[in-house]
Amino acid sequence: MLHRLKLGVLLQWLILFLLTPAYKASSLGLTVHVVPLEENGGKTVRAHFSVITPSPCPDLLAVCAAGEDCQAHRTALPFSYTKPSPAWCVRQWQKTIPSNYNAFLKLGFQTEFYVSINADPKIRANNGKLNRPPFVALPPPLRASVNCPVDFHISTKDLDGDKVRCRFARADTGECRDCFPHSFLELDEASCTLTFTGKAAAGQYFIYLMAEDLIPSPPTRQLLNNSPLSFVPVHLSLTVEESASGCSYNPLVLDGTPERDSVQFVLPFQEVKFNANYKSDQESVLEIAVVGPPDLYRVGFASISNLAKLTMAWIRSENNLTQLLPVCFVANTKSFQSQLRCTWLYQREMRTLPDGTELMCNQTEMFLLLPVSSLTNVNLDELQLNSPTCPVTHNSTHLTAHIPLGGCGTTAVHSGTELVYTNTLKSVHHTMISRRPSLILPLACRIPGVQVKGPRYAVSMPTERETFGEVLVWLEFHLPGQGPLARLTSTPRFRSNILSSSRFRRETGSGSSTSNSSTQAGVQLDEMVKQLDLYVMSNCSVDRAEMIVTNCMESETEDFTDSHPIMEKGCIMSNNTLEIITEQKTFKIYRLDINKMAVSGTKMYIECKINLCIATLPSDTCPDLCSNSSSSSMLVRSVFTSTYSVRSGPVSLLVADFMNRNTTATDLPPSNASPTTGLTSSQQATTPGSTLPASQIPNVISTNTTASQEVATSRITGVILMTIAMFLQMTILQ
């Protein structure tokens, strides 16, 4: 009896084990920035960890034990992305550890990794200070395609000016565990460039490197026994994917993106802002994945046709982060990844204000009084504030400036619960080359949070609903010269694209109005429609808003297994389609020549992808995606909605169905749209993130359907197996 009970329990545990997902035992990326602590001569260091883990993101409870000098960076702006699959996120923390450190670390149940650091204290001969180990930027998880060679440049910096060298970690010296070099990877140690030869099967691979700093030697001679001063770990992951599209379709970096390894200097309470701009002709950019310091803002992501952009910003408030802060980013499409780019934020070390300096703050201005004696060899006439129009006066003893909080280039940022107003007194040389010393003096006035009134400052964008309202989009189909916009379609003016409008009229006869009247007069009701107008509509009434149709496709089947493009990346694909010019910009009308389209049946389906756009400057317009003049700067100067995917019901191509239809003019989608005419109702084209159940929006593409079905299937399978286990247990007991 007891034996049978054990067998039944064992069977249940076996089934639960089989249903439990398998977890990977390595991180997808890791760097440690090491800062020696002066108070004990560098015997301990402050280690700043950045780790990439598979989603779901683990908590940070286990990284800081009780009594440790440790801080976990919990941020409202987590780094979390989807490519490569499965999704991933970044976890960051800092703690004080010995300068020589080897340990296994664990994040949640999913990620475990081994860290080896050698930063034993060494006094530098050139300045008598402790040596500072190198900094390595952590890139997002790397991607490549089978048989497609690619280089990955690992960005490094050294505050002491030392040469940084990268090499593979060695298991025999305890630098890594269960690690070995891959035959398809080559490493240029001097430039820290990792080369994937392309000769690897599809899969995910883990790479373990060490970064070392060495005293730089003159090019004309080599230093003997130039051994590394320290080394720190670098863990990377490379996902190799199958690709049927070739090797030359990676997204390209466009102008306006920070250069590789560039440095941006940041003063206290200063905001730095920059854009990442890309062009991808083969596939649309799904995301711009970023790994950077805590509280790095990422706003304004837009991927329209073959262009994509993202704005990043960081505000230097009081922090205990490292002096060098890397920001690395890539553009990911479904199958490709762009070149890796990293830029560095350098927190300038600032001296305290000279003795005798007074900076007084009141409700409307700052007042600066600065002793001239402290400005040795500085040209006082070259000093100015952020705005050169604000006066800076001086006499033989003092320099003074009245700085309004609402002018002179003064900016306001939030630091914790305080509102901080900042300006900068700096030297502005009027000649290209000057040997005179320069002054950079940041000025800041703090106002406690309890005294702050008005909105809080943040680097953000207004929400889509705030900008465009509650947006609805839908499709309508009408015969030429009929429908709510018959005045535009009866005698249309066509926008020039593949065919000019005159050539179109020569090819299609005497015009749509004539063919339409003849259709009504003498054409058989079972005849096929020759021409059809596709209305791409929206209810947006915001001034200066424009509709951008990026893609449309036609299919004779509801599942679109066999489809034909009407538009791609904003460009009409053939002379089967022409755009009709309209006065308003929040909807589009396209004339479809059914005779020339590859439609063999009596019905078809249409699916379109749509964005709404507002140019930020009144003199600008939203980008024309099919124009050669379009560039990423147009994306930067515009605000976009999410991409709406709207799919029609079956569109009948029989004249009889259109003749029997009520065609009263209306500017809103009908509430009882007829499926035979392919109208898509307002419920079927709601805004992204709608709370409507999927059953109410059958014609809008839902990316959650498959995932929900998989989860439901997994649960049903689990219930069935558990029921079988209980039945078998009862049988065994009997």
Q: Average pLDDT for residues 49-75, to the nearest whole number?
A: 89
- Please give the residue that has the higher pLDDT: either 188 or 221: 188
- Please give the residue that has the higher pLDDT: either 686 or 10: 10
- Please give the residue that has the higher pLDDT: either 24 or 256: 256
Q: Average pLDDT for residues 279-306, to the nearest whole number?
A: 91
Q: Average pLDDT for residues 425-452, to the nearest whole number?
A: 68
Tell me the pairing of strands 156-157 and 135-136: antiparallel
Domains and CATH numbers, the chain: 29-217+226-346 (no CATH), 365-448 (2.60.40.3210), 468-495+526-626+634-660 (2.60.40.4100)
Q: Place 679 in a pLDDT band, splitting at 50, 70 and 90.
A: very low
- Alpha-carbon distance of 135 to 213, in angstroms, equals 9
Task: Flag whether pLDDT at 364 surpasses 80.
Answer: yes
What per-residue confidence (pLDDT) applies to 206? 95
- Alpha-carbon distance of 647 to 699, in angstroms, equals 5
Task: Flag whether pLDDT at 729 surpasses 90.
Answer: no
Task: Flag whether pLDDT at 16 surpasses 70.
Answer: no
Q: Place 221 in a pLDDT band, splitting at 50, 70 and 90.
A: low
Lowest-confidence pick of 19-28, 587-596, 613-622 = 19-28
Task: Flag whether pLDDT at 683 surpasses 70.
Answer: no
What per-residue confidence (pLDDT) applies to 685? 39
Q: Average pLDDT for residues 609-614, to the nearest whole number?
A: 91
Lowest-confidence pick of 244-248, 444-448, 525-529, 686-690 = 686-690
- Alpha-carbon distance of 491 to 205, in angstroms, equals 62
- Please give the residue that has the higher pLDDT: either 148 or 348: 148
What per-residue confidence (pLDDT) applies to 371? 86
Q: Place 727 in a pLDDT band, splitting at 50, 70 and 90.
A: very low
What per-residue confidence (pLDDT) applies to 704? 33
Integer angstrom CA distances of residue 39 from 130, 320, 596:
11, 16, 81
Q: Average pLDDT for residues 642-654, to the nearest whole number?
A: 91
Lowest-confidence pick of 131-145, 220-234, 455-469 = 455-469
Across 92-101, 225-234, 567-576, 597-606, the highest mean pLDDT is recorded for: 92-101
Token code pair at residue 53: 């883990």
What per-residue confidence (pLDDT) applies to 703? 31
Residue 249 near residue 306, CB atoms below 8 Å: no
Could you report the per-residue pLDDT of 375-414, keeping only the tens digit for each? Answer: 777 888 888 888 888 888 888 888 888 888 888 888 877 6
Q: Place 304 in a pLDDT band, splitting at 50, 70 and 90.
A: confident
User: What is the spatial order of strands in the sheet that 365-371 belongs to?
Assistant: 358-361, 365-371, 398-404, 393-394
What per-residue confidence (pLDDT) applies to 360? 86
Tell me the pairing of strands 324-332 and 341-347: antiparallel
What per-residue confidence (pLDDT) applies to 224? 63
What per-residue confidence (pLDDT) applies to 525? 55
Q: Place 676 in a pLDDT band, splitting at 50, 70 and 90.
A: very low
Task: Flag whether pLDDT at 320 surpasses 50.
Answer: yes
What per-residue confidence (pLDDT) applies to 435? 55
- Alpha-carbon distance of 86 to 122, in angstroms, equals 43
Q: Average pLDDT for residues 530-547, to the nearest whole number?
A: 92
Task: Flag whether pLDDT at 675 surpasses 60.
Answer: no
Task: Flag whether pLDDT at 518 surpasses 70.
Answer: no
Task: Flag whether pLDDT at 36 surpasses 90.
Answer: yes
Task: Flag whether pLDDT at 287 surpasses 60.
Answer: yes
Strands of 242-364 (E only): list them.
252-253, 262-266, 271-279, 287-291, 297-304, 307-315, 324-332, 341-347, 358-361
What per-residue confidence (pLDDT) applies to 695? 33
- Please give the residue that has the higher pLDDT: either 34 or 467: 34
Task: Flag whether pLDDT at 557 surpasses 50.
Answer: yes
Residue 79 near residue 291, CB atoms below 8 Å: yes
SS3 call for 495: coil
What per-residue confidence (pLDDT) applies to 461? 56
Q: Average pLDDT for residues 156-185, to the nearest whole number?
A: 93
Lowest-confidence pick of 82-91, 586-595, 673-682 = 673-682
Residue 333 near residue 283, CB atoms below 8 Å: yes
Task: Flag whether pLDDT at 318 surpasses 60.
Answer: yes
- Please give the residue that has the higher pLDDT: either 451 or 290: 290
Residue 492 near residue 505, CB atoms below 8 Å: no
Task: Flag whether pLDDT at 303 surpasses 50.
Answer: yes
Lowest-confidence pick of 311-315, 440-444, 457-461, 489-493 = 457-461
- Alpha-carbon distance of 528 to 604, in angstroms, equals 12
Q: Average pLDDT for residues 409-437, to the nearest whole number?
A: 72
| Dihedral (CA of 512, 514, 518, 520) sign | positive
Task: Flag whether pLDDT at 258 surpasses 60.
Answer: yes
Lowest-confidence pick of 177-181, 368-372, 687-691 = 687-691
What per-residue confidence (pLDDT) applies to 661? 63
Q: Average pLDDT for residues 588-604, to the nearest whole number?
A: 90
Task: Flag whether pLDDT at 633 surpasses 70.
Answer: no
Task: Flag whether pLDDT at 192 surpasses 50.
Answer: yes
Lowest-confidence pick of 27-31, 350-354, 540-544, 662-666 = 662-666
Q: Place 133 in a pLDDT band, splitting at 50, 70 and 90.
A: very high
Integer angstrom CA distances of residue 191 from 164, 194, 227, 231, 444:
8, 9, 18, 16, 40
Across 240-254, 520-534, 628-642, 649-663, the highest mean pLDDT is recorded for: 240-254
- Please give the residue that has the higher pLDDT: either 21 or 42: 42
Q: Is 561 left (phi over 0), alpha (psi -120 to 50) or beta?
A: alpha
What per-residue confidence (pLDDT) applies to 246? 83
Average pLDDT, rounded, for the chain: 79
Q: Average pLDDT for residues 678-690, to the nearest whole number?
A: 34
